[in-house]
Chains A and B, each alone.
Chain A
Amino acid sequence: MSSLGVLTLIAAASAASILLFYLWRGPLLSLKWRLALFLGVAVLPTFAAGTSTVDGLERTTQRDFCGSCHVMEAHYDDATNLQSTSLAARHTRNHLFGENSCYKCHANYGLYGYPLTKMEGMLHVYHYYLGEYGSMTLEEAVGKIHINKPYPNRNCMHCHTGQGTFWQGVPDHASVKEDALSGRISCSSAGCHGAAHPFAKEAQDAMKGSHDWSKIEEVTP
């Protein structure tokens, strides 16, 4: 359990002991009890809510959390496969991504990136528990599930800035620089760096019948 989890437990246990004692004794609402209940109802639960929320949100950034839904097992297994050469696996083996590799690549890095990423994550919860994902087999999921919107190149360029001499020295980068910056060509296009997840590519192939990733905007909702 994380240190925030321990803090949550301590605050919750303190608040619960005050509340249970009040419910057990049932005293009048004197000033002493008003202050005690203020601690037990407002102060300590607010602290516990804060720590448990931060702890919970932190857990949602971990790869194990993403892989806990069965429809993500193929993606999870590929990412953690030491023999895999997919983009996801190669980035996961990098310690800067490590246990948070799913989040690091799929997060929104804008000003309100963190809450926006979490809100978009709620769509996954909706699709899984209220949509069709929960009842899909893994084989069905691999064929059907696809990224909600085109993967933004700026997420790649969050680390690979495109400013270095090595990057600019690659002829292909120079020839597609404008298209890559404008999003017309994805870094993970076939012929460039390839799909991040082999399953995602297969799913796209099944939907499109070709590898024309430059027109990905037209096929993804």
Chain B
Amino acid sequence: MEMTSEYAGDLQIVTVNSTRIDAAAAIQFKDLMREMTAESNKPVVLDLSQVEFVDSSGLGAIVAAMKFLGKERPLHLSGLTPIVAKVFALTRMDRVFKIFTSVDEAKNLDAARSA
């Protein structure tokens, strides 16, 4: 699994450069998220536009990342592809996250800066 990080103003954008966050990748995803978000306190936008598939383990890992970032540091999502959006909708976890259509949309909205 590959992930990259950049800063856009007062947001940290973490991009998943892999096509699957599944049971085989969930632990690594959590470890990388912890590592990559350790260096700042900025709200995080997780760019999932290259991720074609998420299963319940991957979904759980994304929720775990939201939890370890804590209340003061929101984790938002952007760029959900069709299967990923379907898994979030069926499990109702789309209500738990703020979801942007793209990283650009997140950058342009003040909403991304707050929980």
Whether chain B is bound by chain A comes out as: no
